[in-house]
Chain A
Amino acid sequence: MSADLVVDKTVDYKGLFCPMPIVKIAGAIKEMEVGQVLEMLADDPGSKADMQAWTRQTGHQLLDVREEGGVFKFHVRRKS
């Protein structure tokens, strides 16, 4: 992650399993402005693959994924 990345909003979906993190982030990203960065936390082990697929399908930009102690941290930039 670049040091100057500004996170505009964070959502915490720890404890939720498929499809809830994706269903919820689909709603959360709509409340962001285009170009803003949404940070999402999740501990569903499938969420890394799912977030890569979701951003590929929606066109939003997955800036980075980090994992620490079983918790994934995603940064997504709203594209359109």
Chain B
Amino acid sequence: MAEKKRLALVASKGSLDQAYSPLILATTAAAMGWEVAVFFTFFGFDIINKKRMHALKVSPIGNPAMPEPIPAIPMKVPNFIGTIPGMTHVATAFMKSWMGRAKLPSIPEFVEMAKEMGVRLIACAMTMGVMGIDEKDLIEGVELAGATAFLDFAADADVTLYI
């Protein structure tokens, strides 16, 4: 086979739904034998934060794509209901139950799988400073680097995506 293809991802979102995309793409590319690095920045840090990765959430507020909670009743949850304390928890529980039904791994399981498949996890050092994140908050095996190191990797990538 020709030289390994390369995927460079930026993961900048920390909500439950948006955390999946980079992990799905990273593991799929690794399954195809590609070289993969994911650069975690800003809210994307929650994906590799060992205290927070288990508790990513999805908010029902201002999210018109959220499905109807009861499929038989074609009514979305109104935004003002979404503002009631606890509704983010409810929306998250719904989403996790859909994910579980599809037998999709949880976020921590996905991250572990990506690591085992050789995906490089790179933490944006600047974000750590700005958001007060300590290296010991992060899971094992994360590299610290800046935008320069990411761009150096991405310069030779076949696919680069910002998520």
Contact = CB atoms under 8 A, between A and B. Distances in A.
Contacts of B102: 17
A20 interface: yes
Contacts of A25: 31
A23 B113 contact: yes
Range class of the B interface residue count:
10 to 19
B27 A16 contact: no
A2 interface: no
Nearest to A29: B31
Contacts, number: 41
Contacts of B32: 22, 26, 53-54, 57-58
A56 to B, nearest CB: 9
Given A23-B117, A57-B33, A58-B33, A18 B28 contact: yes
B89 to A, nearest CB: 25
User: SS class of chain A's interface: helix, strand, loop or mixed?
Assistant: helix
Contact of A23 (B5, B27, B103): B27
Contact of A57 (B5, B113, B117): B5
Given A57-B32, A58-B33, A15 B103 contact: yes
> Nearest 6 pairs between A and B by C-beta?
A26-B31, A57-B32, A19-B28, A22-B31, A17-B102, A59-B1
